[in-house]
């Protein structure tokens, strides 16, 4: 069922002569399937089909688009064990994780279908005419969100399902009415092809236009670059490294017609541990954080890579506990040799900066590509003077920073780059007492957590997964939750438009029964 | 009362030795006031003050921010005739226009104050905890919009009040909780200083932090560039040329921390005139469009610069009427010699392309800097093969394009760049009959108008003033209407946050009585 070919709309295609394999990091062996790198000609065909499909797809009813998303979810589930096995062969992630991620992926697709059924996401707004207004009459003006056009989606290495082929970017773009071209992630091209097949089957079953979805294989950067530069592409979704996301963002801004790029990139997810948390629950938090740092071999963008505490004996105890707890945990296999190599390099760089102490000593490695955890400790002064410590080390790695006092802790937070999350451990009184610190942290993050761990991103309307640069390239949007649809749409006003020819969302009798802003007041009634 | 100095927060400053004057185009003479170009040192001081002010200002209640905006409006009105006279001396625009624009400006400020009073603009969203959920408990997650930080605003040449110092960008940014640094437009620096004084007075009277507003004079491009590159600036609002807006957009994207730029730029605002409109109301529309083209010496970004019709005797009659009607109108003075020179150059370039016919012959000019109107006619084929015809000529200029058939009309629309507006003249039946043309036009614009003229931008929630590039640099936002506040804010999630320490917008008992999305349903009730 895995052919290694690209999908140009509904058609499988393998015109290129460049091929590659995926890799099984648990066995240290290439997988058997051979993938055909997409050619420029194939990319052009996919883009042309997407633009053609857009003309039809944008006008397909929300109800039918919701049906399409639900059938994609069903088709992914119908792939059964084959998908789970392929996922595991290409990632070395355990079965539970594979199944959990599949559940999250189909859950996301269905939540966008529900949002389409509800319909209020189009932000309909109506200002009725005032023909007698003086000095000038007022026209009838109505507004709603419409899709941007074909979207390029770059799958992530660390979420082969939930942030890849049919992940949040694809689901939200298809929900918005935008065709999608996925640049398949080379580390899990087989998983990607299976999911692409599910999407294509769903498109056929629900009679969506050919070209509403394409899947391009690529092991290098050229296909992705060509995709972002293609004039038919109107926006880009990316999940991955700061280097990769920033490069695509710059490429998109240099186009003749610049386009928006939403790249969700790196983060060290600072944690501020306040005195009461150290005194009263230090051992508990050490244990929780050992687990959070180790989760999924540390391969989460919300992995806690920086823990700030105030110097003292309670922090010393916390460090000892954290070192002990994390040393007791079993390493697990990383996704790919490249990721493993980058992790090793990142750890080496951190250690060789000097001014650090290792909190845990690990045994010799269990197996190649298993990530040995490392937690370092350093002083606030060392951290402040060395920007290298501010960089994400993707894997089970963290630094505990011993701050001299609250002022130093505040200074560190104000010098940090943008982050996906920030966490405060303590009690309520301390949030007020350390308000300057909490405020500085809030300014740096997309999500602020009290007494918890940053790993685990709930899919719900109130979730923000994004944040000030470089957590994402546009902090005004989120990559997770139904609001992520807002990345792929723009408002359009209809002025003095014949009422029976308006889109349903803007008609007087509100046939979609959606919430609308009518002459300044929210209502789901007829006019 | 005009000192020519910059405002660095509440302080007037003139450290530079570079000075300039504004110009009275009606008299062809420099105005007396001398303006001091801001130095890098002054800019740095304004930026530092803005960042410092942000720490306080973002936490000031909506009620107090609304009060600040209302007092700004009052203070602008209190400037009385001095403001109107200065405006006229710096623009040669008539008194009625000056007063109308002042009314629009204070109206905008008060409409943002009303939006703050209502409070629902923060898009509050609450998903309550589910501690018993399996396999994992769900945390309480709540989201709202928070301000980005200090904003740089570039005033426009053609709206010295409504899109400049206290115009829509400044009003929306201050409403959002962002301090503002205005790069004053050199053509109306005196008007700008008066309005800046009104803002500073209002900031003092309502006890806003020093630095919430600064006004920098500049006659060149250096101060603006330095402002966009300044690390304290977190977003940019610009109204002006494609060249200027695109340059700032690129500069912002090349920063170490890229920031969003919302630039509202050029547009030729295509008008599609369908057969029934030519047959039944051709003379009426010719007269209406002559007026729309001439309005404000054509110095509106919504000026209709392109009229598409189907070849035939009715279109011939329309062209004759349009030529006659527009020739009968009196030219008026342009804003500045530079704008006049650009207009003359733009007309010359259009004429020398060949393949065009003049629809009107104008008399010798009434006075220097008066804009002589020009309407050309060309064929669809000529228009398609010459991209020069697609460029905006800022002034009372338009081209009527004679399309061979509907297919050619459609092709022209698909080759156009993004536009602020598109207009369809015809009857209801034609919207359906020519749906392909109407659909192609809708895809290119931010606002689509039926049987009207594009000039005149209503300030209301349903207005979109923006559009696909190059109408604006980000079609997902509008520059006019209360939704323009969304340019300067980002969402932040609070996870498991102590309920009594949440921002008011997210508290259980909904003290602000705003509309919120609570567990997927909209409600203004308590939890």
Q: Where in chain B is the domain with CATH 3.40.605.10?
A: 6-92+146-265+476-487
The sign of the dihedral angle between the CA atoms of B98, B104, B105, B107 is positive
Q: What local confidence, expressed as pLDDT, does residue A97 receive? A: 96
Q: What is the pLDDT of residues A433-482, one digit of tens each?
A: 999 999 999 999 999 999 999 999 999 999 999 999 999 999 999 999 99
Token couple for B481: 């209407």
Token couple for B337: 């010699």
| Helix ranges restricted to H, B206-274 | 222-229, 242-253
Q: Do B476 and A491 touch (CB under 8 A)?
A: yes
Tell me how far apart the alpha carbons of residues B58 and B260 are, in angstroms, rounded to a whole number.
Answer: 19
CA-based end-to-end distance of chain B: 53
Q: Do B439 and A473 touch (CB under 8 A)?
A: no
Q: Where in chain A is the domain with CATH 3.40.309.10?
A: 270-450
Q: What local confidence, expressed as pLDDT, does residue A266 receive? A: 83
The answer to whether residues A152 and A237 touch, using CB atoms and an 8 Å cutoff, is yes
The answer to whether residues B275 and B314 touch, using CB atoms and an 8 Å cutoff, is yes
CA distance B264 to chain A (A): 14
Which residue of B413, B427, B462 is the best one to mutate when testing the A interface, meaning the one whose CB has the most A CBs within 10 A?
A: B462
Helix (H, G, I), strand (E, B) or coil at B455: coil
The answer to whether residues B278 and B315 touch, using CB atoms and an 8 Å cutoff, is yes
Interface of B with A in 166-205 (CB under 8 A): none
A135 upstream amide cis, omega within 30 of 0: yes
Q: What local confidence, expressed as pLDDT, does residue A364 receive? A: 56
CA distance B280 to chain A (A): 18
Q: Do B127 and A257 touch (CB under 8 A)?
A: no
User: Which one-letter DSSP state was computed for residue B500?
Assistant: G
Which residues of chain A are within 8 Å of residue B431 when distances are taken between CB atoms? Answer: 498, 501
Q: What is the full DSSP assignment across B358-370?
A: ES----S-SSTTB
- The CA-atom distances, in angstroms, between B461 and each of A521, B18, B164, B236 are 10, 42, 20, 22
| Helix ranges restricted to H, A206-312 | 222-229, 242-253, 275-294
Cross-chain CB nearest to A458 (options B139, B148, B452): B139
Cross-chain CB nearest to A501 (options B136, B431, B495): B431
| Helix ranges restricted to H, B254-336 | 275-294, 313-327
Tell me how far apart the alpha carbons of residues B176 and B431 are, in angstroms, rounded to a whole number.
Answer: 39
CA distance A83 to chain B (A): 22
Cross-chain CB nearest to B449 (options A260, A428, A496): A496
Please list, in sequence order, all residues whose beta carbon lies within 8 angstroms of the beta carbon of residue A393, skipping any fewer than 6 positions away. A305, A343, A346, A347, A349, A350
Q: Catalytic: which of A75, A193, A301, A408?
A: A301
Asked if B125 is an interface residue toward chain A (Cβ–Cβ < 8 A), one would say: yes
SS (H, E, C) B326-347: HHCCCCCECCCHHHHHHHHHHH
In this structure, the strands spanning A374-379 and B141-147 are unpaired
CATH architecture assigned to B6-92+146-265+476-487? 3-Layer(aba) Sandwich (3.40)
CATH number of B270-450: 3.40.309.10
Q: What is the pLDDT of residues A468-506, one digit of tens each?
A: 999 999 999 999 999 999 999 999 999 999 999 999 999
Q: What local confidence, expressed as pLDDT, does residue B364 receive? A: 56
- Residues A342-359: what's their mean pLDDT? 94
Q: What local confidence, expressed as pLDDT, does residue B161 receive? A: 98
Q: What is the pLDDT of residues B116-136, one digit of tens each?
A: 999 999 999 999 999 999 888
CA distance B274 to chain A (A): 15
Quickly state the pLDDT bin for A361 (edges 50, 70, 90). confident
- The count of C-alpha atoms lying within 13 angstroms of the C-alpha of A183, restricted to the half-sphere facing its C-beta, is 27
The answer to whether residues A477 and A463 touch, using CB atoms and an 8 Å cutoff, is no
Tell me how far apart the alpha carbons of residues B469 and B266 are, in angstroms, rounded to a whole number.
Answer: 9
Please say if B301 is a catalytic residue. yes
Helix axis angle, B242-253 to B222-229, nearest 10°: 30
Please name every residue paired with B141 in a beta bridge, in sequence order, or none if there are none.
B127, B495
Asked if B468 is an interface residue toward chain A (Cβ–Cβ < 8 A), one would say: yes
Q: Give the strand order in the sheet containing A235-239.
A: A11-13, A6-8, A213-216, A180-183, A151-154, A235-239, A261-264
In this structure, the strands spanning A151-154 and A235-239 are parallel
Q: Catalytic: which of B264, B392, B402, B417?
A: B264
User: Which chain A residue has its CA at the smallest distance from B137's CA?
Assistant: A458
User: Which chain B residue has its CA at the smallest distance from A142's CA?
Assistant: B462
Tell me how far apart the alpha carbons of residues A6 and A13 are, in angstroms, rounded to a whole number.
Answer: 5
Asked if A446 is an interface residue toward chain B (Cβ–Cβ < 8 A), one would say: yes
Q: What is the full DSSP assignment across B476-493?
A: TS-SSSGGGGGGGEEEEE
Tell me how far apart the alpha carbons of residues B238 and B473 are, in angstroms, rounded to a whole number.
Answer: 10
Q: What local confidence, expressed as pLDDT, does residue B266 receive? A: 83
CA distance B430 to chain A (A): 11
The sign of the dihedral angle between the CA atoms of A76, A82, A84, A87 is negative
| Helix ranges restricted to H, A230-336 | 242-253, 275-294, 313-327
Tell me how far apart the alpha carbons of residues B150 and B231 are, in angstroms, rounded to a whole number.
Answer: 10
Is residue A253's pLDDT more than 70?
yes
Q: Phi-psi region for residue A25, left (φ > 0), alpha (ψ -120 to 50) or beta?
A: alpha
Residue written as tokens 């209407």? B481
Quickly state the pLDDT bin for A366 (edges 50, 70, 90). low
Q: What is the full DSSP assignment across A457-509?
A: ---STT-----TTTTBS-TTS-SSSGGGGGGGEEEEEEES--GGGS-GGGSTT
Tell me how far apart the alpha carbons of residues A491 and B392 are, in angstroms, rounded to a whole number.
Answer: 23
Asked if B137 is an interface residue toward chain A (Cβ–Cβ < 8 A), one would say: no
Interface of B with A in 38-77 (CB under 8 A): 55, 59
Nearest to A46 by CA among A10, A20, A15: A10
User: Which chain A residue has its CA at the smallest distance from B250's CA?
Assistant: A253
Quickly state the pLDDT bin for A362 (edges 50, 70, 90). low
Spell B239-251 as b/e; 16+ CB within 10 A means b: bbbbebbbbbbbb
| Chains A, B: CB pairs < 8 Å | 199
Q: Catalytic: which of B178, B193, B301, B430?
A: B301
Tell me how far apart the alpha carbons of residues A212 and A171 are, in angstroms, rounded to a whole number.
Answer: 12
Is residue A363's pLDDT more than 80?
no
* Percentage with pLDDT > 90 across chain A: 97
Tell me how far apart the alpha carbons of residues A161 and A177 are, in angstroms, rounded to a whole number.
Answer: 21
Q: What local confidence, expressed as pLDDT, does residue A127 receive? A: 97
Tell me how far apart the alpha carbons of residues A260 and A272 are, in angstroms, rounded to a whole number.
Answer: 33
Q: Do B490 and A468 touch (CB under 8 A)?
A: yes
Is residue A139's pLDDT more than 80?
yes
The answer to whether residues A144 and A491 touch, using CB atoms and an 8 Å cutoff, is yes
Which residues of chain A are within 8 Å of residue B453 when distances are taken between CB atoms? Answer: none
Q: What is the helix (H) or strand (E) element at residue B494, kind and residue range?
A: strand B489-495
A6-119+148-265+477-487 is a CATH 2.60.120.330 domain = no
- By CB atoms closer than 10 A (0-12, 13-18, 19+), residue A377 is buried
- The CA-atom distances, in angstroms, between B491 and each of A146, A417, A527 are 21, 17, 31
The answer to whether residues A285 and A425 touch, using CB atoms and an 8 Å cutoff, is yes
Cross-chain CB nearest to B141 (options A443, A462, A522): A462
Q: Do A143 and B431 touch (CB under 8 A)?
A: no
Q: What is the pLDDT along chain B (527 residues), one digit of tens a residue?
A: 899 999 999 999 999 999 999 999 999 999 999 999 999 999 999 999 999 999 999 999 999 999 999 999 999 999 999 999 999 999 999 999 999 999 999 999 999 999 999 999 999 999 999 999 988 899 999 999 999 999 999 999 999 999 999 999 999 999 999 999 999 999 999 999 999 999 999 999 999 999 999 999 999 999 999 999 999 999 999 999 999 999 999 999 999 999 999 999 989 999 999 999 999 999 999 999 999 999 999 999 999 999 999 999 999 999 999 999 999 999 999 999 999 999 999 999 999 998 999 999 765 566 889 999 999 999 999 999 999 999 999 999 999 999 999 999 999 999 999 999 999 999 999 999 999 999 999 999 999 999 999 999 999 999 999 999 999 999 999 999 999 999 999 999 999 999 999 999 999 999 999 999 999 999 999 99
Cross-chain CB nearest to A257 (options B451, B469, B493): B469
Is residue A2's pLDDT more than 70?
yes
pLDDT mean across residues, chain B: 96
Cross-chain CB nearest to B260 (options A142, A439, A476): A476
Please list, in sequence order, all residues whose beta carbon lies within 8 angstroms of the beta carbon of residue B242, skipping any fewer than 6 positions away. B265, B266, B392, B470
Which residues of chain A are within 8 Å of residue B253 when distances are taken between CB atoms? Answer: 249-250, 253, 258
């Amino acid at each position: 069922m895995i052919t290694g070919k690209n999908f140009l709309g509904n058609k499988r295609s393998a015109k290129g002569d460049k091929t590659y394999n995926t890799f099984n990091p648990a066995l240290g062996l290439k997988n058997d399937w051979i993938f055909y790198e997409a050619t420029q000609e194939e990319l052009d065909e996919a883009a042309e089909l997407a633009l053609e499909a857009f003309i039809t797809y944008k006008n397909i009813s929300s109800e039918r688009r919701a049906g399409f998303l639900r059938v994609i979810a069903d088709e992914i589930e119908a792939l059964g064990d084959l998908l789970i096995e392929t996922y595991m062969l290409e990632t070395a992630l355990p079965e539970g994780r594979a199944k959990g991620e599949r559940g999250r992926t189909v859950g996301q697709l269905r939540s966008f279908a529900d949002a389409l059924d509800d319909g209020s996401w189009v932000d309909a707004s109506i200002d009725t005419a005032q023909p007698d207004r003086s000095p000038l009459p007022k026209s009838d003006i109505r507004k709603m969100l419409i899709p941007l056009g074909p979207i390029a989606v770059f799958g992530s290495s660390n979420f082969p399902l939930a942030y890849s082929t049919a992940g949040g970017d694809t689901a939200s773009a298809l929900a918005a009415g935008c065709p999608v071209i996925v640049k398949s992630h080379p580390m899990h091209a087989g998983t990607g092809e299976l999911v692409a097949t599910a999407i294509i089957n769903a498109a056929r079953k629900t009679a969506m236009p050919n070209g509403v979805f394409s899947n391009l294989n690529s092991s290098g950067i050229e296909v992705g670059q060509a995709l972002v530069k293609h004039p038919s592409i109107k926006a880009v979704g990316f999940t991955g490294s700061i280097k990769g996301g920033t490069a695509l963002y710059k490429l998109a801004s240099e186009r003749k017609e610049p386009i928006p790029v939403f790249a969700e990139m790196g983060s060290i997810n600072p944690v501020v541990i306040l005195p009461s948390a150290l005194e009263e629950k230090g051992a508990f938090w050490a244990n929780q954080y050992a687990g959070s740092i180790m989760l999924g071999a540390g391969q989460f963008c919300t992995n806690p890579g920086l823990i700030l505490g105030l110097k003292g004996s309670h922090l010393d105890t916390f460090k000892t506990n954290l070192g002990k707890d994390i040393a007791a945990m079993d390493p697990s296999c990383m996704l790919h040799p490249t990721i493993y190599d980058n992790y090793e390099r990142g750890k080496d760089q951190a250690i060789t900066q000097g001014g650090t102490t290792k909190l845990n000593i690990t045994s010799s490695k269990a197996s190649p590509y298993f990530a040995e955890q490392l937690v370092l400790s350093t002083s606030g002064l060392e951290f402040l003077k060395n920007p290298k410590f501010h960089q994400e080390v993707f894997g089970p790695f963290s630094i505990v920073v011993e701050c001299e006092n609250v002022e130093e802790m505040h200074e560190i937070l104000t010098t940090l780059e943008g982050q996906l999350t920030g966490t405060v451990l303590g009690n309520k009184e301390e949030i007020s007492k350390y308000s300057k610190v909490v405020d500085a942290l809030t300014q740096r993050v997309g999500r602020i957590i009290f007494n918890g761990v940053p790993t685990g991103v709930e899919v719900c309307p109130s979730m923000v997964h994004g944040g000030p640069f470089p957590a994402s390239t546009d902090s005004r949007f989120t990559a997770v939750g139904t609001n992520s649809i807002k990345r792929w749409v723009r408002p359009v006003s209809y002025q003095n438009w014949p009422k029976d020819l308006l889109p349903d969302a803007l008609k007087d009798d509100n046939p979609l029964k959606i919430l609308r802003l009518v002459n300044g007041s929210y209502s789901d009634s007829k006019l």
